[in-house]
Structure formats: C-alpha cells, structure tokens
Amino acid sequence: MKQAGLKQYTMKSGASVLAVCSVVAKLLGALYRVPLTNVLGAEGMGLYQLVFPVYALFMMLSSIGIPTALSRIVAEQRAMGNGAKKYLFACMVVLITLSTIAAILVATLAKYIALWQGNEVAYKGFWIIAPSLMFVGAIAGFRGWFQGEMYMLPTALSNIIEQVVKLALGLALSIVFSKRGMIYAVYGALLGVTASEFCALVYMFITYIVRTRHNEKETLKFSKVELTSVFRTAFPIAIVSVLLPLSNFFDSIIVVNMLKLFGLSKEAATWQYGVLSGPVNSLVNMPVVVALSLAIAIVPSVSVSRVERDVDAIMTKSRIAIKLTYLLGIPFAVFFIVLGGKLLGAIYPRLSGEQLVVAENLLRIEAINVVTLSSMQIYVSLLQAVDKTKKAVASLGIAIAIKTVLQIVLTRYIGILGAGIASVCMGFVALFLVSASYFQVCGLHLEKSVGINLLVGVIMGLTGIVATYIENNIISVLVGAGICIFVYVFAVFLFGLIGKEEIANFPAGKILQKIHRVIRFWEYKDA
C-alpha cells in the first residue's frame, strides 16, 4: 500500500514538475514570439512557420517513438528489479543514426520542399535548422531514460534551456540580420533554434553523467533481444508520434497553396498562414503543452501499474489525469473565445488591423482545440501505457484523414477560416475515437463530470464578458483573467468537481486543501 502511494506521488510530483516548467517554457516561447513577430512581421512569421512543421516532422521520424518506448521499458524493468542501461545504449545508437540521416535528408531536399510549400525563398532556412536534428535525437534518448526513471526534472529544465537560448540568441540574431532584409531575420531566428538544441543536449549529457556516476555498474552490451523489445514497443508509438507532425506538414503545403487558389497573392497567403501557425496556434498550444507534460509523466507510471496488474491504480491515475486535463483546458478555451481579441491586441500590437481581425476569428474557432487536443493527448498516452497503441493509431489516422480532406475543400472555398474549422473537426473526431477506445479497455466513465465542467466554463465565460467593455486591451485582459479565475475556481468546488480523495492526488493538491480549510465555501462531493 505504501509503495502504491509512493508511485502515485511520483506520477503526481513528476507531472507537477513537468507542468510548471512547461508553463514557464511556454511563457518564454510566447514572450519570444511577440518580439519575433514584431521583427519578422506576419509574412516573415509565415516563412518561419513553413520551416518548422518540416523540422518537427523529421524530428519525429528520426525518433520513431523510441523515447516513449524507452521510458516504458525502463519503468517496467526497474519495477522488476532489472538493469536498464543497455536499453538506453541501444536506443542511443539508433536515435543518433536516424537523426543524422534526417538532417542530411532535410538539407538535401530543402529546395524541393520549399517549392511544394508554395514559397521557394524558404529553402535556406532548412539548411540552417537541419543540424539541430542530430542534437534532438540524443536529447530524446536522454529524456526517455530519465522519464522511465520517474525523474522528470531534466526533461523540464531542458525545455526551459531551449526556450531561454532561443529567446536570447534567436531574437538577437534576427534583429541583427534584419538589417539585410526580412528573410535574413528569419534565418537568424532559425539559427537560434539550432543553438538552443545544442545547449539542451550539453545539459542533458552532463546531468546523465552526474546522476549515474555513483550507480552500480550495469552492462551496456545489448543483443538482438533488447533491440527487438525496443522496436516492438516503439513501432506503434512511432506511428502515433509522427501523425500530428505529419498533419502539420500537410498544413504547411496545403494552406498556402489553397489560399492562392482562393485568390490571394503569395505574400497574403503566407502572412495568413503565419497568423494561424504563429500567434493563434502559440496561444492554443500553451495550455495543451501542460496536458502533454501530464501525458509524458503518466506513461511510465501507468505502465508500472499494468506490469503489477494493479487495476485500481490504473483507474485512479486515468481518472485523475483526464479530469485534470478538462479542468485546465475548458477555462482556457472559454477565455480565448470571450477575450481572445483583447489578448491578441495586447501581446501582438504590431499586427495590422486586418491581421488582428483574422487572428481573432481564428482564435475563437481554434480555442475548442485546447480542450479536444489536450484530452486526446491524455487518452493516447493512456492507450500507450496499457499497450493498446494500435487503437490510438487507428483513431488519429481517421481524424487526420478527415482534417486533410476538409482543409483542402474549406480553405479553397472560404479561405483561412476553413483551415481552422478543419483543425477543430480533427480534434473532435480524434477525441471521440480515442476516448471510446479507452472505454473499451478500461470502462472509464466521466461524462457527468465533463458535462458539469462545461457548465462551469460557460458560467465563467458569461461573467468574463464584462471585461470586454474595457477599451484598453491590457487592462481588459488582466481584469477579465481575474474575474474568470475567481468565478471558475469558486464554481469548480461549489459544483463538487473535485472529490475529497482526488484533491490530494492533484498537482498543488496540498495548496487546494489549505484553501479549503481557510475558505469553506464548498463541501466535498464524490466526483
């Protein structure tokens, strides 16, 4: 019993560390995007974002699900009392080989990719960012190892290091190079990305050496058995991991080309894609990355419970993870819908009036993805943890196919808003399919809780409308955030969304318990 409690605490504390550091990293990323957008402009951001989906796709292709598989295998081997370093060594050999091949392919195919995307001037950006793929492969291996050890701090801190270096160096280079033109400013920002990955790798390597220098020596010699085990676990995870980056890669090809067919010039199509993939998606992804942090932490934890055949622990961890995702996602989505225009105006003052209107409309549409994509990530991770990854592959494959067809049709005939609608449809379909798949596996019911949570979000949104009447964007956002936070937290406990047994297992659960003891405006209910 004590051991189970310790493992539950490990998952909770690991998720807390990752979530807090991910929020910090995402805030740094958002802070970086604001001046970067002002330096590059909407068209420059469009070029920057044409390069990034390709980079992300090849990054996933070069890791082929190995880091997540490694975290699962290490956690399971440790639970059985076995050594696991040979699995790390085997994974590193494969990861470094694949990431080097990926870097060569990106550099070789740069001109062709840029032509397919509809803006050939972006091709040198691929040359600049290609070397970072070699660094990312090794970083991914170390992250998988530490996550399997239930030690989440290196993953969290490496994310922050990446963002700090990118913010400091990338922004500085883009400003310096901007004197030679917009495209050179884009190259400077991409060079900052490559430098940030190198710094993160140095940190991870030093941390690994320091962390393991006093450990008992484990053999690094691996055989065909270990490689087979890794690839058998990694293969379905690899398909899941590559599907979303593949979808974003399709976006980078489809959206600009369809907008040109819609009647826009190359420059206008590029800046509209830049608004969607830059300011809008940056805001939407900020809360999603918190859910992703929880997803990373939950895979090795639930995998251990599966090995131990502890069904109760699996159900408890699953319920907490899913409920927490909705608790975090719904208020962000509603806030973006109600105060998205004010928020964009406050943090992107250099966008033109037309660009702000496009961004506001897209944010109100894509805000729904905060809930659907966050929840989908958790269900996918749970399916991976209980060794049902194939169900996640099928679900995501169907959702992305639907999105791709809708994106081609809708963007061609109604413009950039069609891309946003297609993305939201993908989120709904993916969430429905993966949640239904997990229900078949574990029979987990949360419909009542989710329904009440949506009601609480609506109540929060209705009260937050008051702040939209404030003319100053910054003051409006601050007042609106204050009102929404107070109303949402009050209503969450008033409606009994968090049960007494659950609150202790939530990240920051002790703080919530202290608040309850001081301000007794609710009574616990079984949720």
**Is 284 a member of any domain?**
yes
Closest CA to 143 of 153, 129, 130: 153
Assigned domain for 7 exists = yes
Does residue 289 lie within any of the structural domains? yes
Task: Answer positive or negative: Cα dihedral of 162, 247, 110, 269.
Answer: negative
Coil vs helix vs strand at 264:
coil
Which residue has tokens 């690094």?
A: 220
Q: What pLDDT does 380 receive?
A: 84
Token code pair at residue 11: 């998952």
Please name the residues in contact with 81: beta carbons below 8 A apart, sequence gap of 6 or more.
none
Tokens representing 182 are: 């917009």
Cβ–Cβ < 8 Å for 122, 50 = yes
- Give the span between the Cα atoms of 24 and 197, in whole angstroms: 17
Q: What is the pLDDT of residue 357?
A: 92
What is the C-alpha to C-alpha distance for residues 456 and 448, in angstroms, rounded to an integer? 12
Residue 151: how many other CB atoms lie within 10 Å = 15
Q: What is the pLDDT of residue 27?
A: 66
- Per run of 10 residues, the mean pLDDT along the chain (length 527 residues) is 42 56 68 78 81 80 74 75 75 87 90 81 86 90 83 83 89 89 89 92 91 66 64 68 79 88 88 87 80 60 64 74 85 94 87 89 94 87 78 89 94 93 94 88 75 93 93 93 92 78 59 61 49
Q: Note whether residue 479 is domain-resident.
A: no
Find tokens 């696991």 and name the residue: 84
The candidate with the shortest Cα–Cα distance to 396, out of 271, 248, 514, 266, is 248
Nearest to 25 by CA among 152, 140, 159: 159
Burial class (CB in 10 A: 0-12, 13-18, 19+), 189: buried
Q: What is the pLDDT of residue 36?
A: 82
Q: Are 196 and 170 contacting, i.e. CB atoms less than 8 angstroms apart?
A: yes
d(CA 192, CA 170): 4
Give the integer Cα–Cα distance in Å for 71 and 87: 10
Q: Report angle CA 482, 487, 488 to the nearest 5 degrees.
A: 100
Q: Hunting for tokens 């964007």 — which residue is that?
A: 473
**503 domain-assigned:** no
Whole-angstrom distance, CA of residue 342 vs CA of residue 356? 10
Count of domains for the chain: 1
SS3 265: coil
Q: Is 294 exposed, middle or buried (0-12, 13-18, 19+ CB in 10 A)?
A: buried
In a domain, 207, yes or no: yes
pLDDT at residue 61, rounded to an integer: 73
Q: Which of 440, 383, 429, 435 has its CA nearest to residue 406? A: 429
Distance, CA of 28 to CA of 37 (rounded, Å): 14
Q: How many CB atoms lie within 10 A of CB 473?
A: 17
φ, ψ of residue 310 in degrees (nearest 5): -95, 85
Domain membership flag for residue 497? no
Q: Does a structural domain hold residue 67?
A: yes
Q: What's the pLDDT tens digit per position in 366-405?
A: 999 999 988 888 888 788 777 787 888 888 899 999 999 9
Which domain, by its residues, includes 277?
A: 2-445
